[in-house]
Structure 1
């Protein structure tokens, strides 16, 4: 699916579900990471995460488009368009739009595991766990002022 097909889909869904035309642009934005799509308040455009289409297909994109069109039409009409607003929640329910999109993380391997460094005092054996590697020549034990040693 390309941007032109997405534009046609958004216009079609807007007419079928809301009986109102979508007069702005809809396009894919590959820089979106954790969200399925977003409605831009100033330009009134809708951006969709292409990863949602790759992972879940057309049905997921239709749900995201419905959700973003709820923001769009309510904002254009001057009603409450934010997630917490009553108007927004009612319109979501009326058009059967999802409140959230499916998770876009492919696996746990995409998130980095934080490395930990463990140091011990050579005198009192007190342990220090750090996220960042430190210079053992520059620092000492806070309890007994002994030297530190990196544990493997």
Structure 2
């Protein structure tokens, strides 16, 4: 978990923007605790098909460590700088990938997506089809989608 506050986060983003991209980032940067597996994102609000330039902002995951934070901010700033040059783009865009290498920003988030639960069901028909689910299923109501027989919970796993 990062230990910097909102003001220091804003200052860090502005400093990295000037240092690595030679352009100011004059939009808001904030923490978003709802982000799970992604390190951050730049949000381009729209009204119809038009992007509202004045309302662009960056969100950063507060679960990142202080060592990971500059890399993620550089990655998101690269998205913003490519947007200024070319407009909206994709992660695998060649110019974006080159810019990541140039500023030594990570391609992927260091955070790992963790599934909290996993359930394994087996149908009680002759074929014994198996189904993995992330959510629990009501076996009194649900049936096997292949042969229509009843389901049985075989195992469940809960991650912390």
Fold-level similarity (TM above 0.5): yes
TM-score, scaled relative to structure 2:
0.68
Q: Distance in 1 between matches of 2:153 and 2:85?
A: 63
> Are 2:123 and 2:150, in contact at CA under 8 Å, matched by a contact in 1?
no
- Work out whether residues 35 and 101 of structure 1, in 8 Å CA contact, stay in contact via their aligned partners in 2: yes
TM-aligned CA distance change 1:148 to 1:102, over 3 Å = closer
- Greater length-normalized contact order (CA 8 Å, ≥ 6 residues apart): 2
Which residue in the other structure is 1:39 paired with?
42
Which residue in 2 is equivalent to 1:49? 61
Structure 1 unaligned regions, length at least 5: 121-125, 136-141
Runs of 4+ in 1 over 6 A off after TM superposition: 147-152
CA deviation digits over 1:66-95, x for unaligned, max 9?
A: 000001112123356421222211111111
Q: Quote the RMSD (CA, aligned, Å).
A: 3.1
Across the two proteins, how many residue pairs are aligned to each other? Answer: 133
Query: Which structure has the larger Rg over C-alpha atoms?
Result: 1
- Aligned residue in 2 for 1:119: 124
Which residue of structure 1 lines up, in the alignment, with residue 18 of structure 2?
A: 15
Q: Tell me if the contact between 1:44 and 1:72 (Cα under 8 Å) persists in the aligned partners.
A: no
1:62 & 1:33 partners in 2: Cα distance? 18
More strand by share: 2
2:74 aligned to 61, 66, 84, which one?
Answer: 66
